[in-house]
A and B are shown apart, each in its own frame.
Chain A
Amino acid sequence: MTPITLTLIKIAFLAVLWLFVIAAVGVIRADLFGSRAAERAANRPPRPARQTAQERAGRQQQRQTAPPQPGPAPAPAHSGQTPQPHQGRAEQAVLVVTEGPLTGTTIDLAASGPVTIGRAPDSTLVVSDDYASSRHARIHAQDGGWILEDLNSTNGTYLGRSKVTRPVQLPVGVPVRIGKTVIELRK
């Protein structure tokens, strides 16, 4: 084999190796990219920026529906339990844990459906806290908004300063206290 062929083979292999790394970064980017835009939207004051933030989120979803990677399309989500995108504009919301051991954890409400909070291991947000009940509270969608419901917990759920006794509408940005954990709805 001539030296030039050997060099070409060598360069080709390095190129393939780097292409793999770039492809892997691409897959990861698809995981992360949306989060950056959504975070920007979440940090903005809700009222004046709502329109643009939602438009951004809508565009972003359209991008995701296009296959972002080679290979067969991802298997469809089972039995359609995850809410479809574009179902309702009000559903673009995340729950953010602002206090307690799980600070920083976020739950995408649109993707996860009804959210249960408690010590039970199958809860959406598992809090290991002596002041929380196994099934403490639940947040679910209704009429384009979100409903907070206390599941008869021992120490109660507080929305702002008032104890939640019956299902109430969950407003954006008001802290919900469950034991030592505080969560907040953000759009």
Chain B
Amino acid sequence: MSEAATPTAGRTRLGASLGLLIFAIIVAVSAFAQVGLVRDGSLPTGMFGYGLAITVLAGVAFFVMRRFTPYADPVLLPLAMLLNGLGLAMIYRIDQTTLLTFAEDKARFEATNPGKKFVPFGAGANVFGQLLWTVLSIALFITALIVLKEIKVLQRYHYSLGLAGLVLLIAPIFFPGINGSKIWITIGSFSVQPSEFCKFAFIAFFAAYLVKKRSALSLVSRKIGPLELPRSRDLMPILAFWVIALMIMAVENDFGTALLFFGLFVSMVYIATGKVSWVVIGLGMFLGGAFLLYLTASTIGGPMEHINQRVEIWLNPEPFFGNGCSKGGEIFNAVNDPDGYKQCLADGGKFSNSEQLMKGLFALAQGGVLGTGLGQGQPYLNDLAFSDEIFTSFGEEIGLTGLMAILLVYVLLVERGFKIAIATKDEFSKLFAGGISFVFALQVFAICGGVTKLVPFTGLTTPFLTQGGSSLLANWILIAILLRLSHEARKPAPVAIQDEGMTQIVNLRGANQ
């Protein structure tokens, strides 16, 4: 881990940051332009409005960064802005109401089918709503950048934050689920995904907790074979969190959320102690627990059946495409075998539908290496094209080449986060930055793994891309914290105004500018 100081430490890199930010805006606006050119044959009117909005937002964010954290990492803001802009462009593309011919189509449909409501493809995609969320997120980003001067303040409230995180995590159980996952709090037509805000609370809590317990967790151990095992009493917190993660999986029916929080905890313990045995223990516990849960669910059945259903779809989605029913190991598809399907349902078989997952896989196949080109594919055929499956929507339209670029942007984001963690000089900030970076990486893994059938499908969001307010708000706050931490790490040390031995007068204000 030994690394010499960077040549740019103690220098602002605002020029590079501004250059990259302008580049990011150009990429996002050209995505809008391409959609318009292909769909409508001309530059879309929406491009100017949204382009201007993105530019203004990026400009304000940059100005605030320049004023309050000039030594901050130069690439974080442009990377986040690029992802946010691309997400907007994709939602704009899926939102069929932005079509030039939308009014015409609607009128024609209503004339031919009187009394029926016109529901276009991609209904639910709302690019204007997403833009409003972006505005709100940038506002919150700015507030966080200005208010959170000392991240260490959070250390004082760590038990409160941990409790708040836990409450937020458990709250969705009492609300109806969407697509089988109970990870939303729904009030009227307004829904919040609290796990997004939990990330922040838990990172702060874990960081503060581990600062206190670091030595106990890393120094005291028994050696059994090649593994250094911690004392059983030090295992209690990880055990508690393991139970919580399994409960999320069982009750909220979301593999991804459980993976996210348990993985976050294990990774932060690893960052704090540097002991591989914790990772081995954590991974073993998680995988073993998930498997045990599946076994229990398949023997008990009844209320735990939905877990089985998830696993079945994950392992074998094809027979469930377009409604399927499984009973006693046999699967009846509604399209291929309608009679068997009806019979199976009548006999009390289990109904499952793998439509979203399968359509996402079709979209990826359709995209191939170069993609169909923005505006030329049909990602809107998937009901979740703008939310859970936005990754596959990109896969269809910009292909593997584009997806790799997007994944690389995430990689760079995470890399910068870990770099900031190394550069910060106190333990709490180190753990905080490390936790934020890891949670980004794990979330991208969980969602991309979910839509590509590597892990069970999850309701987590793709950071910055997915349509939805809670995710955007929470992730922009995390970016603000990373910027603040990197500013504190890279700014030049306060310099003594006069040199007089033991007493020093130090100009703190000068160093903050």
Contact = CB atoms under 8 A, between A and B. Distances in A.
Interface of A: 1, 6-7, 9-14, 16-21, 23-25, 27-28, 30-35, 38-39, 42, 60-61, 64, 67-75, 77-79, 81-82, 94, 96, 101-108, 111-116, 121-126, 128, 140, 151-152
B34 A75 contact: no
B29 to A, nearest CB: 10
Nearest to A104: B1
Given A38-B4, A81-B495, A122-B494, 14 more contacts: A1-B37, A7-B373, A14-B402, A17-B398, A18-B405, A20-B24, A25-B412, A27-B13, A27-B16, A39-B3, A68-B16, A72-B15, A121-B426, A125-B425
Contacts of A111: 5, 7, 9-11, 492
A103 B274 CA distance: 11
B427 A101 contact: yes
Contacts of B493: 112-116, 124
Interface in B1-47: 1-20, 22-24, 26-27, 30-31, 34, 37-38, 41
Please indicate which of the listed interface residues B9, B152, B372, B374 has the most CB atoms of chain A within 10 Å of its own CB.
B9
B132 interface: no
Contact of B510 (A13, A38, A78, A115): A78
Contacts of B405: 14, 17-18, 20-21
Contacts of A1: 37-38, 41
B27 A17 contact: yes
Interface stretch (B74-82, B222-230, B440-448): B74-82
A67 B15 contact: yes
B415 A108 contact: no
16 contacts: A9-B38, A17-B402, A25-B412, A27-B13, A34-B7, A35-B4, A61-B7, A64-B8, A74-B13, A81-B495, A82-B492, A101-B427, A102-B427, A105-B422, A105-B425, A152-B502
Contacts of A61: 7
Nearest to B22: A71
For chain B, which range describes its interface: under 10, 10 to 19, 20 to 34, or 35 or more residues? 35 or more
Nearest to B23: A20
B294 to A, nearest CB: 39
Interface of B: 1-20, 22-24, 26-27, 30-31, 34, 37-38, 41, 70, 74-75, 78-79, 82, 150, 152, 211, 214, 370-374, 376, 398-399, 401-402, 405-406, 408-409, 412, 415-416, 419, 422, 425-427, 492-496, 499, 502, 506, 508, 510, 513
A106 B374 CA distance: 46
A77 B492 contact: yes
A25 B488 CA distance: 23
B211 A128 contact: yes
A14 B412 contact: no
A101 B426 CA distance: 9
B2 A39 contact: yes
B4 to A, nearest CB: 4
A119 B38 CA distance: 61
Contact of A113 (B14, B409, B495): B495
A60 B492 CA distance: 20
Contacts of A79: 510
A30 B16 contact: yes
B401 A14 contact: yes
B490 to A, nearest CB: 9
B19 to A, nearest CB: 3
A148 to B, nearest CB: 14
Contacts of A11: 370
B16 A74 contact: yes
A107 B492 CA distance: 11
Given A20-B82, A101-B214, A111-B9, A10 B370 contact: yes
Contacts of A101: 214, 427
A10 B373 contact: yes
B78 A35 contact: no
Contact of B12 (A34, A74, A113, A128): A74
A77 B401 CA distance: 40
The 9 closest A-B pairs by CB, nearest first: A108-B5, A71-B19, A34-B7, A10-B373, A104-B1, A111-B10, A38-B4, A69-B16, A124-B493
Contacts of A123: 425
A11 B150 CA distance: 45
Contacts of B427: 101-102, 128
Contacts of B30: 12-13, 16
Nearest to B74: A27
A71 B15 contact: yes
Contacts of A81: 492, 495, 510
B5 A35 contact: yes
A104 B3 contact: yes
B398 A13 contact: yes
Of listed A6, A74, A103, A123, residue having the most chain B CB within 10 A: A74
A77 B12 contact: yes
A68 to B, nearest CB: 7
A11 B402 CA distance: 10
Contacts of B426: 121, 126, 128
